[in-house]
Amino acid sequence: MSLDGLAQTGLALPEPEIDRLLTRFLAYYGPNIARETRPFEGAVAALEGFRAEGARLAVCTNKRLALAEHLLKELAIDRLFDAVAGRDSFEVYKPHPDHIRGAVRMAGGDLKSAIMIGDTGIDIAAARAAGIPVVGCTFGYAEGPIEALRPDAVISHYSELEAAVRALLAQSAAPANPA
């Protein structure tokens, strides 16, 4: 069990109490995972558009794999993804770059054309460490303005995602200027 969340609050609990609370939380969370959760407006249409063009899509999350898969199924969007990599899919997880690299491999993708879409500093750090461009979302779970984390592109609605991805792919395909 990770104590990161507790450490951030300054709360110290004995390990058996943490385990008890986690078990209680998961017993509630699993069956209620999609009770109030919905995809952001425009997300499904954007993902469907990328799929129609042959893109390989993966979820790379620090949520446990079984919970991530359950959520995607409950939201009826699991069909859009070629792979799901959860916190427990590999020996490492975000912001470690191998979590993203593993998700791309699982999806049958190519790191040279991979782009991360994220809404937190952990997402941006993981993409940077993996050497792939990242689109930051102004909506979601960022601790502050996503622009301050300097992603390669910023969107404030999923209707802007296609243009951001195309621009990043064009940049990565452009020949480097000799100095």
pLDDT at 9: 80
Residue 73 CB: number of other CB atoms within 10 A? 13
> pTM for the full model?
0.87
- Mean pLDDT for 1-11 is 66
Average pLDDT for the chain: 93
Distance, CA of 104 to CA of 57 (rounded, Å): 8
Radius of gyration of the chain (CA): 17
- Which one is the CATH code of 39-173: 3.40.50.1000, 2.40.50.100, 3.40.190.10, 2.60.120.380? 3.40.50.1000
- Mean pLDDT for 87-103 is 98
> At 1, is the pLDDT very low, low, confident or very high (cuts 50, 70, 90)?
very low
Q: Which tokens belong to 172? A: 């990565």
Over residues 141-167, the pLDDT tens digits come to: 888 899 999 999 999 999 999 999 999
Is the confidence at residue 5, as pLDDT, over 70? Answer: no
Least confident of 3-17, 19-33, 72-86: 3-17
The residues spanned by each domain of the chain are: 39-173
> At 20, is the pLDDT very low, low, confident or very high (cuts 50, 70, 90)?
very high
